[in-house]
Structure 1
Amino acid sequence: MTWRDGKASISRLLLFMASIIIGIAAVVSIQLFSKNLEQNIERQSKALTGADFIIDSRQLPNERVQGIIDSLGADAFEVNFSSMAAFPKNGGTKLVQVRGMEGDFPFYGTLETEPASAATTYQREGSALVDATLMLQYDIQAGDSIKLGLLTLPIAGAINSIPGSSAISTSVAPTVLLPFRFIEQTQLLQLGSRKEYQYFFVASPDMDLDQLDKTLDPILDAENADLDTHNSTSRRIGRSYENLGKFLNLAAFIALLLGCIGIASSVHIYIKEKLADVAVLKCLGASRRQTFMIYLIQIAAMGLFGGILGTMIGIGLQQVFPLLLQEFLPFEIEIAVSPQPIIMGLLLGVLMSVLFALLPLLGTWYVSPLEVLRVSEESPVKSKKARSFTFTAILLFIFLFSFWILKDLLFALAFVLGIVITFAILAGVSALFIKGIRKYFPASWGFTARTSLLNLFRPNNQTMVLILAIGLGTFLISTLYFTKDILLAKTALKNGANDANMILLDVQPEQQEAVAASITPTGLDVIDNLSIVTMRVHSINGQLANEIRKDTSSTINEWVLNHEFRTTFRDSLIASEEILEGNWVKEITPGEPVKISISENLAENAKLKVGDTLVFNVQGVLMETTIGSIRKVDWARMQMNFMVVFPKGVLEKAPQFHVLTTYAPDDSSSAALQRDLIRKFPNVTVIDLRQIYTVIEDILDKISWVVNFMAFFSIITGLIVLIGSVRTSKYQRIRESVLLRTLGAKSKQILRITALEYLFLGILGSLAGILLSLVSSQLLATLLFKEPFVPSVIPFLLFLPGIIILVMAIGLSNIKSVLQSPPLEVLRKVG
C-alpha cells in the first residue's frame, strides 16, 4: 500500500524531498569541511610551527628568560620585524617582514625555495631569501640585491613557502629571510620598533609538551615572554576559524530548518487530503497502526532518499570551501571523506522527515471510518498528549542541533525561544486574520473577491499552514540577509577622501623635523605628527599584574597584562572616537592626578570603569593613572587609533618616537616619497595604506562571497520550501475549482479568485516575516555583534514583492490543469 499510494503521489513527494536535500547538503558539506580542517591542523601542527615548541618575547630576553632558554637548549632563533626594503635594480620599495635567522630552521615542514639549494646555503653565503610573489612584482631575480636599512645583500633565491605563513599574511608584508648576524648592520631596530625574538626547540622523545607548557608558561608570562607548543599553536589556529565555522554552520542550520518547515507544511496538506482514503481503508478493516504506517513509511523513505542525495551533493560541495578559503590558511587542506558527517546526513534525513511530519501524520491515527459518510471537512481531533509529545520532540531536536552547532547553551536556548515566539506570533496573526475576516466580512464586494476571502476561513482552508510556511520562510531568509549585512558592515573599511593613506613609523625624536621637511616640499601635507610612548601594565586597582596572572578566578583578559601599549597624548578627540562614559581631560597641570582615556574594548577586557586606577611601567618608571573616560573607537577607520590616550602635560619628556601621516593622491607621488625617505632615513617604516586597502578589500570580498554564498544557499532553500508548500496546497482547491466550473464560473473568475486568495496569503505571510526579522536582527546586532543595525531596504523592495509574486504564480499554476481539462476528467484524477 505504501508503494502503490506513493507512486500515485510522486510529484508531491518529490517537492517534499527537495526541502530535505538542500538542508542536508548544506550541513554535510560544512561539517565535512570543518572535520577536514580540524584533522589537517592536527596532522600538520608541527609543520605549522616548524618546531616542537617556541619561546618568544617582544624584547631581548632578560636574565631569567635567557636562563630558561639556555637550560632547554635552543636549536635555532630569529628576530622578526616589519621594515621597508628597497631594490637598487629598479628603485622599488616595499614593506616587508624581516626575519633574521640563525640555525637550521625549520625542523618540521619545508622551507621551499627556488633554487632549492638556496634554503640551505643562504646563511653560509650571507645572502637573503625573498618572497617569490614580491620578486615577480618587482622583476627581481636571484643574484640581484636588496637593501634593508644600511645593509645591502645579494638575493640567493625566492621563498615559495615557509612554515606558518599564509597567502594573506605574505601579501601584506612579504617575508625576507637573512642571517641573524647581519641584523645589527641594518640599524633598523630603533626605539619603538615592533620586534619579536623567537627561540625554536626540538623536544626529546620523552618530553611532555603539555606539562612543559603548564609549568613554564606562567613563569615566562610574568617576564613578558611566552611559550607555544605545536599542540597549543594548532589549537589556536583552530580557534581562529571557529567564528567563520559557526556562521557557516548557522547558515546551514537555517537551511535545514527551512527544510523542516517545508516538510511540516507539505505533509500537513498532503495528509489532510488523504484522510478520506484512510477512512475508506478503516471501513475495509485496516487498523490504526496499518494506516498510520503506510504514510510513515512513505515519509521515512523519502527522508532516507533525500538524505542520500543531500549527502552526495554535500560531499561534492565540500570541495568548494578549500578553494574559497585557501588564502586564509597557512597550509594546504587535504580533502578526505570522514564517515561521521555522512552518517549524520543520512540519519538527519530520516529523523527530520519523520519528526516534522509526525504532527500531521497523527491525523491518520485519529480519523474515524465514519468520515467516509460525513460531509464535514474538519480535521479529526488529535490526542493532546500525542501532540504535546510531538512538539516537545521537535523543540528538543532544534535545541540539541543548535547547541551542537553553536557550542553555547544560552545561544541555543535563545535560538529555540526565538523560533517558538516567531511561530506563536505568526500563528496568532493568521488566527486573528481569519477571525477578522469572519467578523467584518465585506458582503458588498463582488463575487470573485467574496469567494477568495471565503476560501481563507471556510472548511479546508490553507490560511494557517501557508501563513506559517511563508512567514517562517521569509523570517529566516530576511534575518539571514540582515545578519549578513551586520557581519559585512562590521568588517567594512572606512576611509574618507582626505584621510591619511601613508603612515611613517619609527621616526626618532631627532629625525622628526627632518622627516616632516622631506614631506612638505613634495606638495604633500603632514596630517598627523604623533608622539608614541610604549608602556606595560604594572597593576590594576592596586593588584600587581603578576598576582592577577596567578589568580585563577580573575576575569581580566591575560593579553592586557602582557601587551606592550603604544600610547599617545593630545588635547582633543578625533573623528573615529566618541566618549561613552566620563569626561575628556585635555591637559594636566603638575601635581594633579593623571586622568587618561581608554577604549571600550580595553575597559571590557581589563574590567575597568571610570574612576579605577591603573599603574603603568613606562620603560622603568611607574606612573599612576585614573580612568577619566571610556571611548568608543571605530577601529574600521584606517588611521592612528589608540587604546590609551593621555592628556597633554604628562608624557612630553618620556622616551618616545614619532608617527607622521600624510595623504598621497596617486601611486607616483607615493613611490617618490617612499624612495626619498628610505634613502634619507632607512630606519623609518612607510606603510602605504592603499596597498593594504587593496589586500584587505580582496580579503573582505572573499569573506563577503562566502557569507553571500551561504545566505543565497539558505534563501534558495526557503524559496523551494515556499514553492513546495504552495504547490502541494493545489490539491485542496481542485475540487472547489471544478465545482465552480461545473456551476458555470468562467476561467477568468476562477483565476481572479485564486490570485486574490494567494495575494492575501503572500502579503500577510511575507510582511509578518520581514517585520519579525527586523526585531530579531536588531536583537542580534545589539546583544551578539554589539554593532548598530541599519536595516537594508532590499527585503522590502525585493523579498516582499518577490515572494508575493512567487506565491501568486505558484497558486495560479496550481489550477492550470483544472482550466485546461474537462471537469469530469479532473474529478476522476483527484478522486
Structure 2
Amino acid sequence: MALSPFRFAWQDSRGMRRRLVLYVSAMALGVAALVAIRSFGINLERAVAEQSKEVFGSDLEVRRSAAFPDSTAALLDSLEAETGATVVREVSFPSMARFPASAGGEGRARLAQVRALDGPYPLYGEVQTTPAAAAERIGRGGGALVDATLLLQMDAAVGDSVQVGGRAYPIVGRVDGVPGQAEIASLVGPRVYLPLAEVDSTLLGFGSRARYAVGFRFPDAEAATPGVASRLDDYEVRYETAGEEQQEITEASGYLTRFLSLVGFVALLLGGIGVASSVSVYVGEKAETVATLRCLGVSSGRVLAVYALQALALGLVGAVLGATLGVGVQRLLPLVLQGFLPVDVQNDVVPRALVEGLGVGLVTALLFALLPLVGVRRVPPLRALRADARAGGVDPLRWLLVALLVAAVGGFAYLQTQSWGGAAAFVGGTAAVFALLALAAVAVRGVLRRVVRPGLPYAWRQGLANLYTPGNQTLVLLLTMGLGVFLVLALALVQRSILEQVAVPTGDDRSPDVILFDVQPSQRDSLRALVESQGLPVIQEVPLVQMRIAAVDGVPVDTLLETADDSFAGTEGGPERWTLTREYRSTYRTHTVPTETVVAGAFEGTAPEDADVVPVSIEAELAADLDVGVGSRITWSVGGADVESVVTSLRDVDWAQVQPNFFAVFAAGPLDAAPQTAIVLTRAGSPERSARVQSAAVEAFPNVSAVDVQLVLSLIDRVLARVAFVLRFMALFAVATGLVVLAGAVRVALGQRTREVVMLRTLGASRAQVRRILVAEYALLGVLAALTGGVLALAGAWGLAAFVFEIPFRPDLTWLGWALVVVPLLTVAVGLLGSRGALRQPPLAVLRSE
C-alpha cells in the first residue's frame, strides 16, 4: 500500500478518537501525580540547600546535656575571639508556663519548651513576631515572647504575663514564625523565649533536663568551620554543622518525596490498566479491519505499527495533559504539607520534572497498550469472512512485553527507594494486590453464574448476569476500584491502630491522666498532700536517678568509643555509640509493671543497701545495641560515684503506653539514697480538675512540671490526622484514576451496551427498567470493589501494624461500612452517566445500522 503508516493511523482513528478520550484521561491523572510530586521534590531540595543555615540557625552549634565545664567554656570564648564569630548562647528545657488568672477566671498552665537566649537570635533568618519590633528583643532581655499557638490555647495576649519557675515575665510579643520550625512543632511543643540572664536558676538545678548550646556564625564559614570542629573533638561536647543538618534534612525530605512518588506511580499503573482495557476493546472492534488489510497484502508488522502509532500518539497527548495538570497540582502540595516542612518551598515550574513525567507516562502508556495490541499480528485473514476465526498458540512477544513492563516498574521503584530489596518489595506487593483482586473478580464471575436464579427480580437478574457475560468489564473495574479502596482504607486502619496504642483507658479509675515530674525528694510529701487535698488519688510515685555508663564488662567507655567509631553502622562486635554517650534516667523497684515482659533471666527486685554489685534489668533492644546479656557487668556513674551492676534479666517494654518506662530498672535498696527526683502520677478525671491540680502544683512548686495525658493524646491525634490527610490526598489520585477507568470501561463498551439496551427496549422494556438493570449491575460492582479492597486493606494494615510498627492491630470497622456505602454510590453514578448515550438511542436507528 502506498499509504504511509502515519497517515493511515490518522485516518483509521477518526471514528475512535472520542471513544478513547478516557484512555487519555487515565494516563493524564497518573502523569499529573508524578509531575506534581517530582516538581515539589526538586523545589524542596532547592529550598533546603538555600535555607539550610536558616533552618539550622548557625554555621556550627556546640551542645551538651549539662552545663559546659570551665575548660570547655574557656575554649568557646577563645574560639569566639579568634574567629570573630557572632555567638548566641542558649539553654533550653521543658517547664510549666503559667498564665495568671484574668478577670473573673482561673490561672492556666501548660508544659512548654523554654528557650533562654543570650545574644542576637537568630543568627540566620528572621523571627516573625507581633508586633514586628518584638523580634529584636529575643535574647536581649526585657520580657518573654510566646508562641502564637500557646497564647491561643491559654487565652492570653501580648501585654499579659507568663510565669516560668518562680519568676513572672511580661509578654512583649507573639511569635508567629521561626526559621526552621515547622508549624506542627509549635502545636506539639509550644515555645516560650526568655532572656538567659533572667531565668530562675532553680529550674537548672539537679534533675533538670536542660540542654546547653552555643551557636556560631563565622565571617568565613567554609574556612573557619573545619578548624573549629577539629579543636572540639577532645572535649565532652557534641557539635553539628549547617552542612550536616542540610544533609539530614535532604535525606528526610527525600524519603517523603520518594514515598509520595510511589503512591503517584500506583495511580499511573491504574491508568495503565485502563489503557490496556480500552485498547483491548478497541482491538476487538478493529479485528475485521485488520483481517481485511491482511487480505490486501499488508504485513502483520505494518498493521501493528499503525495501531502502535495511534497508541503512542494518544499516550503523548495524555502525558502532555497530565504534565500540565501536574503543574497545577504542584501548587497544592506545599499547602498540604506546609505544617511539616521546616523551609518555605517555592512553586517554580521544573522542566526536568516535566520531562521525567512525560517519559514515564509515555513508556507506561505504550507498554500497557502494546500488551493487547500485539494481538493484531495474530488476526488471520480468514477473520474477514468468519467471525469465529482465531489464531492459536502462545505469543512470545506478549510475554516479552510483560517482562519489560515488570522491569520498568521495578526500575522506577528502585529509583525511588534506592534499594533493590525495596524495589522488589514494591513490585511484589503491587503484583500480589493485583493478583488477589484479579482472583476475586474471577471468583465473583464464577459464583454469580451459579447464584443467578429465575426467582430473582428481573432487573437484578439481568444486572447480575451482565457481570459474567462475554465482553464484561468486571475484572478491570474490580482491579481499579478495589486498589483505590485498598490504599485509602489501609492508611485509615493503620492510623486507628496507632492511636489505640497511646490511648489511656477511660473506664479504669486507676489509670493516670496527669503526670507531675522533676519533684525533689524534699517536696514529695508536700506534693502528695497537695494532690490529695484536691480530692485526687496518688496512683504511683516513681523515683528517677540520672546516670551514665562508665564501663561495660570492665572496659571503660572511652576505650569502647574508640571501637564504636568503626562499628557504629550496626556491625557486630561492640556497643553502638549512642548507648555509651547518652544520659540514662533510671529507676528502682521491687517488681515489674504491666508494660514490661521479662524475656531472659529473672527479675530481682530487692538487694541489700550495701551490696557491692546491684542487680539490674535492661530493656531487650538496648541490650542488643549495647552488646550485653544476662550476666554482663555494667558500671554506672551516679552523681559522681561508680555503681557496679550485673544484668539479671532482659525486658520487652511497650513504649507506646503513656506511663513511665525505663531502659534500666535496678533492684530496690542500694540506690535509695542516690541523688534523685521523682515522678508522681494521679488521675483528675476531667479537664477542669486536671487544670486545677496542675495550676496548684506549679504555684506551690515552680520547678515541678506537669503533663496532661489527655492533652498529649489529643495532640497525637491531631498530628496523625494531618499525616493521614497528606497520605489520603495522594491516595485520592488512585481513586480518581479508578473512577476515570471505570468511566472508560463503560464508554468503550458502549457499542455492546447500546445493542443490549436496544434489544431490551424492542422487547418492551421501559427506560426505567433498563436503568434499574444498570443500577443493579454497577451497585454490585461497587459493593464487590469495596469488599475486596476492604479485605485487602485489613490484611495490608495488619501487616503494617505487626511488622512495621510492631503494635497490636485494632481496626475501626466503621471505615469498611462507609466504603460499602460510598463506593457503590460513586460506581452507580459514573456508570449511569457513561450509559446515558445508550439509553437515549432510539431502537429503530440501531436496528437499521445492524
Bin of the TM-score, shorter chain as denominator length: 0.7 to 0.9
1:107 corresponds to which of 123, 126, 129 = 123
1:784 corresponds to which of 801, 804, 807 = 804
Where does residue 23 of structure 1 map in the other structure? 30
Give the aligned length: 819
Three-state SS of the structure 1 residue aligned to 2:286 is helix
Q: Tell whether the 8 Å contact from 2:131 to 2:173 is kept in structure 1 after alignment.
A: yes
Q: Tell whether the 8 Å contact from 1:503 to 1:662 is kept in structure 2 after alignment.
A: yes
Where does residue 583 of structure 2 map in the other structure? 564
Partner Cα distance (1:638, 1:777) in 2: 23
Q: Which amino acid aligns with 1:571?
A: T
Q: Report the alpha carbon displacement of residue 257 of structure 1 after superposing the two structures with TM.
A: 1.9
Partner Cα distance (1:789, 1:627) in 2: 32
Q: Which amino acid aligns with 2:651?
A: I
Which residues in structure 2 correspond to 1:352-367 (within 5 Å)? 352-367=364-379
Where does residue 300 of structure 1 map in the other structure? 312
Q: Report the alpha carbon displacement of residue 660 of structure 1 after superposing the two structures with TM.
A: 1.2
Cα deviation code 1:106-126 (max 9, x no counterpart): 221124444544444566665
Normalising by structure 2, report the TM-score. 0.84
Identify the range of structure 1 (447-456 vs 331-340) with the bigger mean alpha-carbon deviation. Answer: 447-456
1:391 corresponds to which of 399, 402, 412 = 402
Which residues in structure 2 correspond to 1:61-100 (within 5 Å)? 61-62=68-69, 65-66=72-73, 68-73=75-80, 75-87=87-99, 90=102, 91-100=107-116
C-alpha change, 1:280 and 1:810, in structure 2 (3 Å) is farther
Three-state SS of the structure 1 residue aligned to 2:222 is coil
Partner Cα distance (2:826, 2:389) in 1: 28
Partner Cα distance (1:692, 1:421) in 2: 39
Where does residue 3 of structure 2 map in the other structure? none
Q: Which amino acid aligns with 1:175?
A: R
C-alpha change, 1:328 and 1:61, in structure 2 (3 Å) is same
Where does residue 261 of structure 1 map in the other structure? 273
1:625 corresponds to which of 630, 638, 646 = 646
Partner Cα distance (1:547, 1:299) in 2: 62
1:718 corresponds to which of 738, 746, 759 = 738
Partner Cα distance (1:155, 1:761) in 2: 61
Q: Which amino acid aligns with 1:306?
A: G
Q: Report the alpha carbon displacement of residue 683 of structure 1 after superposing the two structures with TM.
A: 1.6
Three-state SS of the structure 2 residue aligned to 1:78 is strand
Q: Tell whether the 8 Å contact from 1:423 to 1:472 is kept in structure 2 after alignment.
A: no
Q: Tell whether the 8 Å contact from 1:507 to 1:659 is kept in structure 2 after alignment.
A: yes
1:278 matched to 2:290? The reply is yes
Q: Report the alpha carbon displacement of residue 298 of structure 1 after superposing the two structures with TM.
A: 2.5
Cα deviation code 1:473-532 (max 9, x no counterpart): 414532552244214532564122343332222111111111111221121222221110
Where does residue 418 of structure 1 map in the other structure? 429
Percent identity, aligned pairs only, is 33
Three-state SS of the structure 2 residue aligned to 1:375 is coil
Where does residue 176 of structure 1 map in the other structure? 192
Q: Report the alpha carbon displacement of residue 648 of structure 1 after superposing the two structures with TM.
A: 2.4
Q: Report the alpha carbon displacement of residue 202 of structure 1 after superposing the two structures with TM.
A: 1.9
Q: Which amino acid aligns with 2:204?
A: L
Cα deviation code 1:779-829 (max 9, x no counterpart): 443333333334554576455676678778877887776676466632666
Q: Report the alpha carbon displacement of residue 469 of structure 1 after superposing the two structures with TM.
A: 4.9
C-alpha change, 1:814 and 1:587, in structure 2 (3 Å) is same
Q: Report the alpha carbon displacement of residue 102 of structure 1 after superposing the two structures with TM.
A: 2.2
C-alpha change, 1:212 and 1:20, in structure 2 (3 Å) is farther
Where does residue 4 of structure 2 map in the other structure? none
Partner Cα distance (2:781, 2:171) in 1: 71
Q: Which amino acid aligns with 2:120?
A: D
C-alpha change, 1:547 and 1:626, in structure 2 (3 Å) is farther
Where does residue 165 of structure 1 map in the other structure? 181
Which residues in structure 2 correspond to 1:750-789 (within 5 Å)? 770-789=790-809
Which residues in structure 2 correspond to 1:439-478 (within 5 Å)? 461-462=470-471, 466-467=474-475, 469-471=477-479, 473-475=481-483, 477-478=485-486
1:486 matched to 2:491? The reply is no
C-alpha change, 1:600 and 1:823, in structure 2 (3 Å) is farther
Identify the range of structure 1 (134-143 vs 307-316) with the bigger mean alpha-carbon deviation. Answer: 134-143
Which residues in structure 2 correspond to 1:250-649 (within 5 Å)? 250-376=262-388, 378=390, 380-381=391-392, 384-424=395-435, 461-462=470-471, 466-467=474-475, 469-471=477-479, 473-475=481-483, 477-491=485-499, 493-497=502-506, 498=509, 499-540=511-552, 544=557, 545-552=560-567, 555=570, 557-579=576-598, 583-588=602-607, 594-599=614-619, 601-603=621-623, 605-606=625-626, 614-620=634-640, 621-626=642-647, 628-635=649-656, 637-649=657-669
Q: Report the alpha carbon displacement of residue 376 of structure 1 after superposing the two structures with TM.
A: 0.8
Q: Report the alpha carbon displacement of residue 304 of structure 1 after superposing the two structures with TM.
A: 2.1
Q: Tell whether the 8 Å contact from 2:452 to 2:465 is kept in structure 1 after alignment.
A: no
C-alpha change, 1:112 and 1:477, in structure 2 (3 Å) is closer
Q: Report the alpha carbon displacement of residue 201 of structure 1 after superposing the two structures with TM.
A: 1.1
Q: Structure 1 regions of 5+ residues with no counterpart? A: none
Partner Cα distance (1:125, 1:599) in 2: 44
Where does residue 651 of structure 1 map in the other structure? 671
1:35 matched to 2:42? The reply is yes
Q: Which amino acid aligns with 2:428?
A: L
C-alpha change, 1:822 and 1:410, in structure 2 (3 Å) is same
C-alpha change, 1:422 and 1:240, in structure 2 (3 Å) is closer
Partner Cα distance (1:202, 1:408) in 2: 38
Q: Which amino acid aligns with 2:649?
A: G
Partner Cα distance (1:764, 1:117) in 2: 62
Q: Tell whether the 8 Å contact from 1:279 to 1:368 is kept in structure 2 after alignment.
A: yes
C-alpha change, 1:206 and 1:327, in structure 2 (3 Å) is closer
Three-state SS of the structure 1 residue aligned to 2:204 is coil
Where does residue 9 of structure 1 map in the other structure? 16
Partner Cα distance (1:462, 1:432) in 2: 17
Identify the range of structure 1 (82-91 vs 316-325) with the bigger mean alpha-carbon deviation. Answer: 82-91
C-alpha change, 1:27 and 1:736, in structure 2 (3 Å) is same
Partner Cα distance (1:698, 1:298) in 2: 49
Q: Report the alpha carbon displacement of residue 285 of structure 1 after superposing the two structures with TM.
A: 4.4
Q: Report the alpha carbon displacement of residue 353 of structure 1 after superposing the two structures with TM.
A: 0.9
Cα deviation code 1:580-624 (max 9, x no counterpart): 555444334565964444445535654665565544333332433
Cα deviation code 1:329-371 (max 9, x no counterpart): 3343333222222222222332211111111010122322221
Q: Tell whether the 8 Å contact from 2:208 to 2:518 is kept in structure 1 after alignment.
A: yes
Three-state SS of the structure 2 residue aligned to 1:567 is strand
Q: Tell whether the 8 Å contact from 1:597 to 1:645 is kept in structure 2 after alignment.
A: yes
Q: Which amino acid aligns with 1:384?
A: D
Identify the range of structure 1 (747-756 vs 382-391) with the bigger mean alpha-carbon deviation. Answer: 747-756
1:46 matched to 2:65? The reply is no
Q: Structure 2 regions of 5+ residues with no counterpart? A: 1-7
Identify the range of structure 1 (594-603 vs 447-456) with the bigger mean alpha-carbon deviation. Answer: 447-456
Cα deviation code 1:270-299 (max 9, x no counterpart): 212221122223334444344323322322
Partner Cα distance (2:493, 2:545) in 1: 38
Where does residue 260 of structure 2 map in the other structure? 248
Partner Cα distance (2:493, 2:408) in 1: 29
Q: Which amino acid aligns with 1:416?
A: V
1:685 matched to 2:692? The reply is no
Where does residue 5 of structure 2 map in the other structure? none
1:198 matched to 2:216? The reply is no
Partner Cα distance (1:638, 1:127) in 2: 35
Partner Cα distance (2:400, 2:90) in 1: 64
